[in-house]
Structure 1
Amino acid sequence: MKHFRLTAALVLGMAIGTVTPALAEVATVRLAKQFGIGYLPLTLIEEQGLLEKHAQEAGLELRTEWLRFTGGSGMNEALLSGNLDIAAGGVGPMLTIWARTQNNLQVKGIAALESMPLYLVTTDPEVQSLADFNRSHKIALPAVKTSIQAITLQMAAEKYLGEGRHDALDAFTVSMGHPDAQLAMMGGRSEINAHFGAPPFQNQELKDERAHKVLDSYEVLGGPHTFNVIWAKNEFVENNPTVMAALMAALEESIGFIRDNPDKAARIWAEVEATNLSHDEVVDLITDERVNWTTAPQGILPYVEYMSRVGLISASTDDWRDVFFDMVHDTEGS
């Protein structure tokens, strides 16, 4: 990341030395996030005022507006309609809008937030593998066919059930935000009996003896992969270089804080999210050896290849940098 820091510092320095570019940029940035510990870097940016801080250091008085969504498709609609500047969600929704806008708005990823495993959990003791799901099952996930959970489920179906069966479980999936999905499955009073979720919801579910894990996304992908990313329109990125440099600086500071102060980061997140997890449980989530807090995209190309091959997106590439703006091109992404 050293090269980017120099680039960001140069941009910030130019902004300080030249007032006009900063004044020409937006005065308010509208950002979105979803539920879960995977959005911790954004939570810290919001709670600690890091974006405003770095923008001010660059000579720009900036306000932020934070919106909360339950899935990536809703954020994409808000982005396209001009009601959102920076979206945050799973790789699936980002790739969907990337492919859709290549010839016009040119939406791309800005940076990753972390690499983190996702679990498919069920309370049905008869379900031990994907082959055991049938019409009596309903699998809750953030957005049918477009969320990273939905895409990973299709990839898993192809891998474990056989070629041509990638959509075998689609009819059993239901769009539902993680908090509602957890309540529905664990409450036992709805048709939801499986949830392809994310931390901390999957971890809370597995604490109950009625629940067990059916699928692990790292096993499907053959290794670690990015869970959440942030993305934006090309026009916004090009017209707001100071804001973007400040955002990357804020991301680096928040991720550094997570690594150096997991205890404090856990307290901030727990207070904001009003979780019923204990402090030690939140710290364990943050410091999990399978989790990597980083802006470097990881495991992006398997998703691109799969989604292109089965027709979920109309574009493809063999270079992950084509999917992201140049702020992270010098990282060790994949």
Structure 2
Amino acid sequence: MTRTFRPRPSRRVLSALTAAALTASLASCALAPSSGDTGSCEEETSITIAYQPGLGYANLLLVQVDGTLEEELPGVDITWRELNSGAAIRDGTLAGEIQMAAGGVGPFIIGRGAGMKWKMISSLNSMNLQLMTMDRDVRSLEQLEGDGSIAMPGPDSIQSIVLRKGAQEELGDPRALDSQIIAMGHPDGMQALVAGQLQAHLTAPPFQQQEADQGAHVLLDSYEVFDGPHTFNGIYAMEDFVACNPDVASAMVDALEAANEEIADDPDAVADRLTDVIGGMDAAEISEELTAEGTEFTTTPVSLGLFASFMEETGLIREELTTRDLFFENDATEGGS
């Protein structure tokens, strides 16, 4: 029996709740957690790493499955948590409940722009994000405007930035589709789209391919609107945490680089090890997605500055951020953009 999913009215994003409003509300609490005084800090003996569902976390999930960090950091108790949105992960990091945060660049840049003292330790990947619809008659954003709900993880997710960039180019107004956005995790969004309860879903691998297999087609392509590959997800941490725990940050970079090499060298073996943590896919499907065109597992950030520039231009953040604001200086971020 197929479960029917109905979005709760409280989850609908009203047009008044723009990303600029989220930035303003975050600014009121973002400055407190990081004093910049690391002279008296102590190394953490317990950390939480948070991430979201999806293939965009495959290299991080491989680190989890193989216990790489636990082996490299025997004195650190590591907890892994899956959450449904980058905003929830950002809020948990701000509250001190999460020490290493994996998520899309949208919530990260909005948090940083509001004064939150966190930076990227490493990119996880570059991935092409697509806006999907089951409606064969809808072939453009102009036809989509004013017609039904558009699901994504949140109104400040990287997907929302992609949608606004597309709306600016096609409709002349980056906020033209804001009132249609509803916040929904990727798995629920896919189920709702296929069930006909949404007009569109802006998601990520593997969900967009699974939707295509059910008859959905692409309305918007993030690599097209941002003129090439860009980072999808990264690993972020507060500046104070990294200053006090440099070995943890270094171990994460090393573990991700090793995982990326494994994915490139033997995606089939990696896929076998990920079947228990990436739901709804068998090993062959995972392997195919790991090597799909437009997907690259890399620690090097790509085009974060381009995203930040667009977000400043459209009022999503107050001031344009430089790469110095966005990255920690390490082997992973060297040469990042």
With structure 2 as the length reference, what TM-score do the two structures score? Answer: 0.85
Structure 1 spans left out of the alignment, 5+ residues: 1-22
Residue 193 of structure 1: how far off its partner (Å):
2.2
Alignment of 1:237-256 (within 5 A): 237-256=242-261
Which segments of structure 1 move beyond 4 Å, counting only runs of 4 or more? Answer: none
C-alpha contact (below 8 Å) 1:119/1:197 kept by paired residues:
yes
Match of 1:157 in 2: 167
Residue 54 of structure 1: how far off its partner (Å):
1.9
Q: Distance in 2 between matches of 1:289 and 1:122?
A: 21
1:96 aligns with 2:110: yes
Residue 134 of structure 1: how far off its partner (Å):
3.3
The alignment yields a C-alpha RMSD, in angstroms, of 1.7
Match of 1:194 in 2: 200
Match of 1:322 in 2: 325
Residue 184 of structure 1: how far off its partner (Å):
0.7
Residue 288 of structure 1: how far off its partner (Å):
1.5
Q: Distance in 2 between matches of 1:234 and 1:132?
A: 44
Residue 126 of structure 1: how far off its partner (Å):
1.8
Alignment of 1:100-249 (within 5 A): 100-101=114-115, 106-144=117-155, 146-162=156-172, 165-188=173-196, 190=197, 192-209=198-215, 211-249=216-254
Matched residue of 2:275: which SS? helix
Residue 328 of structure 1: how far off its partner (Å):
4.4
Match of 2:100 in 1: 86
More moved, 124-133 vs 324-333:
324-333
- What percentage of residue pairs aligned between the two structures are identical? 37
C-alpha contact (below 8 Å) 2:122/2:332 kept by paired residues:
no
Q: How many residues align?
A: 298
With structure 1 as the length reference, what TM-score do the two structures score? Answer: 0.85
Residue 52 of structure 1: how far off its partner (Å):
1.5
Match of 1:332 in 2: 335
Matched residue of 2:44: which SS? coil
Matched residue of 1:111: which SS? strand
Residue 320 of structure 1: how far off its partner (Å):
2.2
C-alpha contact (below 8 Å) 2:123/2:333 kept by paired residues:
no
Residue 140 of structure 1: how far off its partner (Å):
0.3
As a proportion of its length, which structure holds more helix?
A: 1
Q: Give, as a single letter, the amino acid of the residue that structure 1 aligns with 2:163.
A: L
Structure 2 spans left out of the alignment, 5+ residues: 1-40
Matched residue of 1:182: which SS? helix
C-alpha contact (below 8 Å) 1:110/1:229 kept by paired residues:
yes
